[in-house]
Amino acid sequence: MNKIKITKEEILDKALFMAKQNGLEKLNIRSLAKKCGVSVGCIYYYFNNKNDLIIEVVTKFWNEIFIPISTLNYEASDFIEFIKNVYSVLFVKLGENNLYANSHMNMFNQTNVDIGRINMENYKDRVLKFIIKIMKYDNKINDEAWSSNFSKHEFVDFIFTNVFLSLDKKEKNIDYLCKIVEKIIY
């Protein structure tokens, strides 16, 4: 009997492809096994259950999104342009498929919701720190804009939240948000 060898990474690649095409809610172990050309048991060898699979698919999805963002030219010294570029990358990447952040949590049982939230908070924290780092390159930012009541971290969190609200609404651009940012920090 020939055994088909497949790695966990190959399974994740196929699962992510299927989720992008049809959405996470339609991803199931049987169809994934069929797509991979393996038995259902082979999928369960790598993943204890569907929720574990989904958590790893979502993690892989966000890794794919944040790699292009981390390669943007952030030393160009214009924070507003950087935020616009981040938005453009997110708009394109999220618009290419049926897999989107806000639908992720609906797929998990309560234990995995907590794990999913922790993973998303870790991504968010990484992105916020990265954006704060980017701000250092823009010499036009007024250092007096910050105080104990108004920190860079809180401001970047505000930007991040509004970027995702705009993505939810499928806004083509975030010019209004950029005007707000400009008025506050320059």
**Residue 147, beta-bridge partner list:** 150
Residue 100 near residue 94, CB atoms below 8 Å: yes
**pLDDT tens sequence across 53-95:** 988 888 888 888 777 777 776 666 689 998 998 898 888 887 7
In a domain, 129, yes or no: yes
Among the listed residues 97, 90, 104, 93, the one whose alpha carbon sits nearest the alpha carbon of residue 21: 97
**pLDDT tens sequence across 114-151:** 666 677 777 778 888 888 988 988 999 999 999 999 99
User: For the stretch 110-126, what's the b/e string if a residue is b when 16 or more beta carbons lie within 10 angstroms of its beta carbon?
Assistant: eebeeebeebbeebeee
Long-range contacts of 64-73 (CB under 8 A, 24+ apart): 64/16, 64/93, 65/89, 65/90, 65/93, 65/94, 66/123, 66/126, 66/127, 68/93, 69/127, 69/130, 70/130
Quick one: pLDDT band at residue 98, thresholds 50, 70, 90?
A: low
The whole domain housing 101 covers: 50-185
In a domain, 144, yes or no: yes
In a domain, 61, yes or no: yes
**Residue 150, beta-bridge partner list:** 147
In a domain, 33, yes or no: no
In a domain, 118, yes or no: yes
5 DSSP 8-state letter: P
In a domain, 21, yes or no: no
| Domains in the chain, number | 1
